[in-house]
Amino acid sequence: MACTVVRCHESANHSEETALRRVEAVLNGRPGEEWVVLANLMFSPSPDRPSDELDLVCIGTRGVVAIEVKHWQIVTDEDRRRLEREAERISMKARRLSGSLKAKLRQSGLFVSAGILLTKAYSRHGEAINGVPIHDVSSISLLFDSLSGQQLSGEAVRFSAETLHAQAAIRLREKIRRLAGYVNLEHQSSTQDGFHRVFRGVEASTREPVVLHLYDLSVGADGDLGNLARRECETLQRLQKSSHVPYIRETIRDVPGYEGEMLYFVLMDPCAPTVAKRKQDKAWSWLERLSYATKALEALQELYELGESRRSRERLVLRTISPNTLLVANDNLPVFSDLQLSRLPGQETIVRGSETVPQDSWIAPEIRTRGWQVASQASDKDVFNVDFDGRSAEDCDQVVRILDKGCREEPGERALDPRALAEELKSRQPEPGYTIQDCYDLVNHKPQPGFQRAYMKVKDDLSRLGLDFS
């Protein structure tokens, strides 16, 4: 289990940052334990008391430790007396913290340990001064080894962190209910991904439905996480002239209180089902499916054209078109909803180190074997086959044969122009029928020229059934 760091306030100096990185590394190396580190926490047990400043509060399944960080070198007697005074202060802070957590958790046996971490070398590892162990960065793991053992459950660890710092919930839980003016948030994306989470909710004042994308840049050491987080929003900004992408309500920015650590942007919710869900609906007729596939190919070509750049010969690549990301709006229009791995002209491919390529059928063969970096417009795999049932086998085969031109095994054999495929699909659509006004003059009550024979035949058929035609 990993260690999660929540920065409550900025580090006061470089030594505090060094200590935090070392503690995080040590706790990440303890298998089977869950830890949350609150850095630079301001804590007060009651509103009428000044807040204690705690450099590090480590809350884990093994126990709770309050750590004071000092960039001191202990050489003289005066240095030791100063260390004794600091040990007394951190011990008092730990006792106050312990009393508050006991009341909140209703766990009388909970004890908050205290420790001092020196960022300069200290030879007497673990020496207790006024009951507080002293360690340097090379021996800090011994402080956690000395804890009594299992004291808190994983849920109690997270609850304790949120009790001491309310905004810790943004980092620790999928179930965030409000953020930056948006409320009633419901987690939609995979719980496996701590870097990118997607929520549906509403804007607090206007009650407009929105989709909020939240990025946690602290989940890894990959320096490109910030650029990867901005990629989808930047692509959507380039394509905003199209009606086939969601409208941006707020461009990407820092989460209040987590500047430099967490980012978010907000889209207006299209409130539309995915193709994967829509094609299961038997009420979605064969003609509507054919019309949708045609419009989706035309929309794809429109997005390619909007993504063109005069400064680069490279082309926009969307990459993640799938039945689970392509939406069907109320007017049967396509909406492309997931562009997080897209590449704009002139940009490099950015993929997380842990990112694995799915082996789904809609992923082009060359990407499945060689990775996202080989993606091109030829590998924006055709996913517009929306189960063309309900017509003759010949009709269905002809439509599927047209769509298969865009997803052949070899990239060089695929049809590159989506609009050309759309024109071929249009040729499979039946001619439109005639309206009543086309066939019959409602003002003069007589058939239109060319429809007399049809009129008389309908009249005779109804007469044989005993129905009056008037």
Look at 439 and 268; give whichever has higher pLDDT. Answer: 268
Superfamily of domain 174-268: Phosphorylase Kinase; domain 1 (3.30.200.20)
Please state, in angstroms and rounded to a whole number, the distance separating the CA atoms of residues 17 and 7.
11
What is the three-class DSSP state of 127?
Answer: strand
The two structure tokens encoding residue 211: 């989709």
pLDDT(253) > 70: yes
**Which stretch, 75-79, 183-187, 207-211, has highest mean pLDDT?**
207-211
Burial letters 347-359, b for 16+ CB under 10 A, else e: beebbbeeeeeee
Per-position DSSP letters for 83-102, written without gaps between them: HHHHHHHHHHHHHHHHHHHH
What is the three-class DSSP state of 440?
Answer: strand
Please state, in angstroms and rounded to a whole number, the distance separating the CA atoms of residues 114 and 92.
9
Q: What is the mean pLDDT of residues 217-230?
A: 73
pTM given for the model:
0.64
Please state, in angstroms and rounded to a whole number, the distance separating the CA atoms of residues 66 and 57.
5
**Which stretch, 260-269, 346-355, 438-447, has highest mean pLDDT?**
260-269
Element (H, E) at 441: strand 440-441
pLDDT for res 119? 87
pLDDT band at 364 (very low <50, low <70, confident <90, very high): confident
What is the three-class DSSP state of 231?
Answer: helix
pLDDT(390) > 50: no
Bridge partners for 263 per DSSP: 215, 254
pLDDT for res 223? 58
**How many residues are there in the chain?**
470
Look at 11 and 147; give whichever has higher pLDDT. Answer: 147
Q: Which tens digit of pLDDT belongs to each residue from 36-91?
A: 999 988 888 777 778 888 999 999 988 899 999 988 888 888 989 999 999 999 99
Task: Answer whether 55's CB lies under 8 Å from 16's CB.
Answer: yes
For residue 27, the one-letter residue type is: L
The percent helix, strand, coil of the chain (3-state, each to 5) is 35, 20, 45
Task: Answer whether 267's CB lies under 8 Å from 240's CB.
Answer: no
What is the residue extent of each domain of the chain?
3-170, 174-268, 275-426, 433-470
pLDDT band at 353 (very low <50, low <70, confident <90, very high): low
CATH 2.60.40 fits 3-170, yes or no: no
Please state, in angstroms and rounded to a whole number, the distance separating the CA atoms of residues 389 and 198.
34
Superfamily of domain 275-426: Transferase(Phosphotransferase) domain 1 (1.10.510.10)
The conformation of residue 208, written as its DSSP 8-state character, comes to -
Task: Answer whether 41's CB lies under 8 Å from 165's CB.
Answer: yes
Task: Answer whether 303's CB lies under 8 Å from 245's CB.
Answer: yes
- Tokens 């909140």 correspond to 104
pLDDT(436) > 80: no
Please state, in angstroms and rounded to a whole number, the distance separating the CA atoms of residues 344 and 330.
29
Tell me phi and psi for residue 316, to 5 degrees.
-65, 135
